[in-house]
Amino acid sequence: MQSGRISEHGFLADGRSAALVDRNGSVNWWCPERFDAPSVFGRLLDDDAGHWSIQPVGEFRVDRSYLDDSLVLRTVFTTPGGSVSVTDALALGPDERGHEIGRRSPGILARVVEGISGEVPMRLCYRPRFEYGRVTAYLVGRGDAVEATAGAARLRLCGDTPVSCGDGEATSRFTVRAGERVGFTLGYAPTYDGGPPATPDAAGVVANALAGWRSWAGLHDYQGRYRDQVRRSAMVVQGMTYQPSGAVVAAATTSLPEQLGGDRNYDYRFVWVRDFSLTLQALWRAACPDEANRQFAWVARAMGMIGDRPAPIMYGVQGERDLTEHRLDHLAGYAGSRPVLVGNDAWRQRQTDVLGEVLDAAWLMRHYLDPMVPEVRDLLRALANQAAEVWRLPDAGMWEARDADRHYLSSKVQCWTALDRAVRFGARIGDPADVARWAAARDEVRGAVLRRGWNEGLGAYTGAFDSAELDASVLLMPLVGFLPAGDERMRATMAVIQRRLCADGLVRRWDGDPAGFVICSFWLAGCLALAGEAGPATDLFERVAARTNDLGLFAEQIDPATGEQLGNFPQAFSHIGLINAAGHLTEAEEQPAPTGAGHREGARG
């Protein structure tokens, strides 16, 4: 049968890729080379796209958790005859510690089975399927290992118990008694590059991964409100970082649907510039300044000299620009949701909000950009110049509409952000004529947003100029300092969004959106905190934060009717939203906002 619900999965990471393991002990997703590489286990998207399960024979009950301050997952299976644990980890480089973890990950998945009480019969089923399930490799036993080679990839499975090879799969039956340990190591290597895959001792791999993650956590001592949730979310964001470049992917998966049976199933294993500023803020708030610095360095390198060319809106993890989308028609899709896509054609779109994202991030990092190198100065100046010109144009918006461009309010607001931060930088990025031109354009954008973004009949700011359609993206207005959260019209907008788009604490992006979009709920909590409404902000935050799965993980959306998590998983945007909202609540507690207050310079600077 196909893998279970999206939220039933745990998340493993090694600084290059991720694996997802469900509650039944099945690894249903792993792209070992890097986040956006072809999968060798893809059962999330089709029953015959590969998996690796280790579980008791017969009935069992499951309890699981991450070992403290790590992404090492321990699942305890309790059966009528006893209990056993399975501990899973993706390998880090030998003795990598602190900020170095994940830089040299070897591409190894380790699983250690340990008897806790009684005796438990276990079964293993290993079914690799290369190239997103297109290729079934021959499995060949060589000594104590099972080797599989197909196309550009090869895998080597070693274990402490005999494994039998069959038609496209390997199986094993073994019994574990209290105090006994059985380990398995699965190594990946390119077929034509170097020697065979490494398969070190599984227990050693787990111990090294645990020490590595704990050493990273020990460098980040967040002391604000909701400390445990913030630290877990910060670790998830770190796990979604491609360590060789420092880029943070939006999610670890492709094509998990926004709506079951729907067709909005996109590949999120890439890096959106939109997420960039919010990621920096989140890492900053979570006491991860070194990661924030790496993020800014990455985006500056990825963008390069843009001149008059439109600013790119997304990249591959090493800065690749062409992310052309294509379908995998041989896959059934999660819960029958098709198409299954690889690549994302949003890279072709104009999304003018990214201009504000980069300049806002630069302003946040301004003390670390002094002295400012010429490449960064030229980039910021070019982005400010673009904002002064293109703010008048329609675009695809932050929700990446694929039908027609519109004059989205959030895009205009972020153009204002770009110009506002450019004016604040002043002579550091432009001459007096530049600054005067940016200031004039900033004021022009502001006037247009206030005039054409407000709908008197609705009593709210709407999603686009001269529109009557609500859009939760306007909640960014106080968060970037465009308007105080306590502004009369902003308060009215927040009230309408709560009334029309919010259900059980979950905020949908627009009328008709099938599920609540997690970060929008956290945006609303942040706005309420900035408006001085600490009680409602706290209540909303806690209701949404309680909707993680049992491991503290969020997907992109949550169905308010069923509580089911939907969309790609885990979703960095959702965890970033939690961290930033916790920061707003902490600041509101430390320095309550006066009536009418909103964005405070010190909170972001």
CATH number of the structural domain spanning residue 56: 2.70.98
| Mean pLDDT for all residues in the chain | 93
Q: How confident is the model at residue 589 (pLDDT cuts 50, 70, 90)?
A: confident
Burial label, 136 (beta-carbon count in 10 A; 0-12, 13-18, 19+): middle
Lowest mean pLDDT among 127-141, 162-176, 280-294, 336-350: 280-294
Q: Between 300 and 89, name the one with better pLDDT.
A: 89
- In this structure, the answer to whether residues 276 and 330 fall within a common structural domain is yes
- Give buried/exposed letters for 230-239 (b at 16+ CB in 10 A, else e): bbbbbbbbbb
Domain boundary among 169, 186, 217: 217
Residues 218-234: tens digit of each pLDDT? 998 899 999 999 999 99
Mean pLDDT of 175-191: 97
- In this structure, the answer to whether residues 446 and 413 fall within a common structural domain is yes
Lowest mean pLDDT among 152-156, 180-184, 573-577, 596-600: 596-600
Mean pLDDT of 1-8: 76
Residue type, 222: Y
Residues 49-62: tens digit of each pLDDT? 999 999 999 999 99
- In this structure, the answer to whether residues 176 and 294 fall within a common structural domain is no
Q: Which of 357-361, 377-381, 424-428 has the highest mean pLDDT?
A: 424-428
Mean pLDDT of 117-141: 96
Residue 474 forms part of a structural domain: yes
Residue 222 forms part of a structural domain: no
Return the closest-CA partner of residue 188 out of 150, 134, 217, 227. 150
Share of the chain above pLDDT 90, in %: 82
CATH number at residue 499: 1.50.10.10
- In this structure, the answer to whether residues 198 and 254 fall within a common structural domain is no
What 3 state SS string does 530-599 have? Answer: HCCCHHHHHHHHHHHHCCCCCCCCCCCEECCCCCCEECCCCEHHHHHHHHHHHHHHHHHHHCCCCCCCCC
- In this structure, the answer to whether residues 179 and 285 fall within a common structural domain is no
Domain boundary among 164, 193, 217: 217
Residue 102 forms part of a structural domain: yes
Mean pLDDT of 15-35: 97
- In this structure, the answer to whether residues 579 and 513 fall within a common structural domain is yes
- In this structure, the answer to whether residues 243 and 196 fall within a common structural domain is no
Q: How confident is the model at residue 602 (pLDDT cuts 50, 70, 90)?
A: very low
The pLDDT of residue 601? 36
Residue 1 forms part of a structural domain: no
Q: What is the pTM of this model?
A: 0.95
Domain boundary among 169, 192, 217: 217
DSSP character for 300? H
Residue 261 forms part of a structural domain: yes
What is the spatial distance between Cα 259 and Cα 503, in angstroms, rounded to a whole number?
17
What is the spatial distance between Cα 430 and Cα 377, in angstroms, rounded to a whole number?
8
The pLDDT of residue 143? 81
Share of the chain above pLDDT 70, in %: 97
Residue range of the domain that includes 183:
6-217
Q: How confident is the model at residue 9 (pLDDT cuts 50, 70, 90)?
A: very high
Cβ-contact 149, 191 below 8 angstroms: yes
Q: Between 30 and 245, name the one with better pLDDT.
A: 30
The pLDDT of residue 5? 93
The pLDDT of residue 3? 59
pLDDT of residue 604 exceeding 70, the answer is no
Q: Which residues, including other chains, have CB under 8 Å from residue 53's CB and lie 6 or more apart?
A: 24, 25, 26, 27, 123, 124, 125
Domain count, the chain: 2
- In this structure, the answer to whether residues 420 and 382 fall within a common structural domain is yes
The pLDDT of residue 373? 85
- In this structure, the answer to whether residues 258 and 148 fall within a common structural domain is no
- In this structure, the answer to whether residues 247 and 382 fall within a common structural domain is yes
pLDDT of residue 598 exceeding 50, the answer is no
pLDDT of residue 2 exceeding 60, the answer is no
The pLDDT of residue 439? 98
Mean pLDDT of 206-221: 95
Q: Strand ranges (DSSP E) for 163-284?
A: 164-165, 170-177, 181-190, 241-242, 247-248, 271-272
Mean pLDDT of 104-118: 96
- In this structure, the answer to whether residues 120 and 251 fall within a common structural domain is no
Lowest mean pLDDT among 133-147, 337-351, 442-456, 572-586: 133-147
Residues 364-423: tens digit of each pLDDT? 889 888 888 888 899 999 999 999 999 999 999 999 999 999 999 999 999 999 999 999
- In this structure, the answer to whether residues 122 and 192 fall within a common structural domain is yes
